[in-house]
């Protein structure tokens, strides 16, 4: 009896797979635990190398756990989350890199021009030689953008929307999943600055990246924007006097210390995340010819999770990678 109850908590017989909370928790917890891999290394690593270990390990763990979840727990494949690497995907990735760079540069250049920030150092090597340090950090942030978007926007948002279908209509399920994934994203970044405003800023960033993901139907644009945002923030417009001073930086800036709104996680980052959303949607409008929300990665056309099967579901069959390019125009 007890074994049957425990089995029912973990496994959904009607859907032939593990229940949604487990499909979310296994890659999510595994990836976040793996971010501590640098602490297991002997000695103290230079900051760019530590960043590479702390981002490469969770990327590997996330991929392995998602593949394992599909193989043994009936979870989605990598391709189902929007990891379809074709020409459009690569173009979106490059566009995302440009969007992330521009979104950070515009607010910081505006602050510098307005006299609210000043350049205090150029070509600062940090813990390593300049260009090797910058190169290592660029690779590290590409890994970070990859695994955080794969796990938070892919695994959490898609599976949560599927789970919320037990109680909600498809579009309300998407809103609930977007809120959950954004909150988890914000909480996961709270330890970076210790500034209370960071929570709201990162909730905004989670919403922005989630919306761009839903409109694009793949992970490329958000991976690129996320990676470039981090790279630009910490190498091109690195804030002086913070824990990231050990990173190699092309330019360090000192923001007006008398303004709390300009502190880390404040108005500059808030404006930058807003620009990521606006520029991302503009790119999708330009590249797709129209702007529409692509819900195909969420597979909400099937039965809600944990409900009784009344007939065959369109989500039961294998999915084509190209299916991620098909738009869904607002209908239920």
Q: How would you write the pLDDT of the chain (332 residues) with one tens digit per residue? A: 555 656 678 888 888 889 999 999 999 999 999 988 766 665 678 888 888 998 999 999 999 999 999 999 999 999 999 998 999 999 999 999 999 999 999 999 999 999 999 999 999 998 888 999 999 999 999 999 999 999 999 999 999 999 998 888 888 999 999 999 999 998 887 765 444 557 788 889 999 999 999 999 899 999 999 999 999 999 999 998 876 778 999 999 999 887 767 777 788 999 999 999 999 999 999 999 988 886 766 666 544 443 333 333 333 333 333 333 333 333 33
Residue 197 in domain: yes
Burial class (CB in 10 A: 0-12, 13-18, 19+), 43: exposed
Over residues 121-179, the pLDDT tens digits come to 999 998 888 999 999 999 999 999 999 999 999 999 999 999 998 888 888 999 999 99
Q: What is the distance between the alpha carbons of residues 152 and 202, in angstroms, rounded to a whole number?
A: 13
Residue 311 in domain: no
Cβ atoms of residues 37 and 52 within 8 Å: no
The tally of domains found in the chain comes to 1
Q: Please give the pLDDT value at position 6.
A: 60
Residue 1 in domain: no
Q: Tokens representing 302? A: 């099937």
Order of all β-strands in the sheet with 238-239? 117-124, 249-255, 238-239
Query: pTM for the complete prediction?
Result: 0.86
Q: How many CA atoms lie within 13 Å of 298's alpha carbon, on the beta-carbon side?
A: 36
Residue 123 in domain: yes
Q: Please give the pLDDT value at position 300.
A: 62
Cβ atoms of residues 211 and 279 within 8 Å: no
Over residues 187-206, the pLDDT tens digits come to 887 765 444 557 788 889 99
Q: Tokens representing 79? A: 């391709």
Residue 179 in domain: yes
Residue 235 in domain: yes
List, in order, residues 6 or more apart from 17 with CB less than 8 Å away.
11, 23, 73, 74, 75
Q: How many CA atoms lie within 13 Å of 49's alpha carbon, on the beta-carbon side?
A: 11
Domain of residue 141 covers: 82-298
DSSP string, 299-332: -TTSPPTTS---S--TTSSPPPGGGGG----S--
Place of tokens 């279908």: 165
DSSP string, 171-188: HHHHHHHHHHHHHHHHHH
Q: What is the distance between the alpha carbons of residues 28 and 214, in angstroms, rounded to a whole number?
A: 20
Cβ atoms of residues 62 and 30 within 8 Å: yes
Residue 68 in domain: no
Angle (CA) 172 292 159, round 5° = 40
Cβ atoms of residues 84 and 91 within 8 Å: no
Q: Where does 217-310 have alpha helices with state H?
A: 220-231, 267-288
Q: Please give the pLDDT value at position 259.
A: 77
Residue 196 in domain: yes
User: 157-164 and 170-188 helices cross at what angle (nearest 10)?
Assistant: 140
């Amino acid at each position: 009896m007890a074994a049957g109850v425990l089995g029912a908590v973990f496994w959904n017989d009607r859907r032939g797979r593990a229940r949604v909370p487990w499909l979310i928790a296994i890659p999510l917890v595994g990836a976040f635990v793996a971010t501590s891999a640098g602490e297991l290394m002997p000695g103290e690593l230079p900051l760019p190398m530590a960043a590479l270990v702390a981002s490469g390990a969770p990327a590997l763990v996330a991929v392995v756990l998602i593949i394992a979840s599909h193989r043994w727990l009936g979870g989605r494949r990598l391709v189902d989350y929007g990891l379809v690497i074709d020409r459009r995907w690569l173009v979106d990735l490059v566009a995302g890199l440009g969007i992330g760079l521009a979104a950070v540069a515009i607010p910081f250049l505006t602050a510098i021009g307005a006299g609210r920030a000043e350049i205090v150092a150029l070509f600062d090597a940090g813990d390593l030689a300049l260009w090797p340090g910058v190169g290592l950090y660029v690779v590290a942030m590409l890994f970070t953008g990859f695994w955080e978007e794969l796990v938070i926007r892919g695994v959490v948002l898609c599976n949560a929307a599927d789970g919320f279908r037990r109680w909600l209509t498809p579009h309300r399920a998407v809103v609930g999943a977007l809120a959950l994934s954004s909150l988890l994203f914000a909480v996961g970044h709270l330890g970076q600055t210790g500034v209370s405003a960071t929570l709201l800023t990162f909730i905004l960033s989670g919403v922005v990246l989630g919306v761009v993901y839903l409109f694009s139907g793949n992970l490329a644009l958000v991976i690129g924007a996320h990676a470039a945002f981090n790279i630009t923030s910490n190498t091109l417009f690195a804030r002086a006097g913070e824990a990231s001073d050990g990173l190699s930086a092309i330019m360090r800036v000192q923001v007006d210390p008398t303004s709390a709104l300009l502190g880390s996680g404040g108005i500059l980052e808030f404006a930058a995340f807003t620009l990521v959303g606006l520029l991302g949607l503009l790119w999708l409008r330009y590249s797709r010819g129209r702007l529409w929300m692509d819900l195909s990665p969420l597979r909400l056309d099937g039965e809600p999770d944990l409900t009784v099967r009344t007939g065959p579901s369109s989500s039961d069959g294998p999915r084509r990678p190209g299916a991620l390019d098909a738009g869904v125009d607002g209908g239920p």
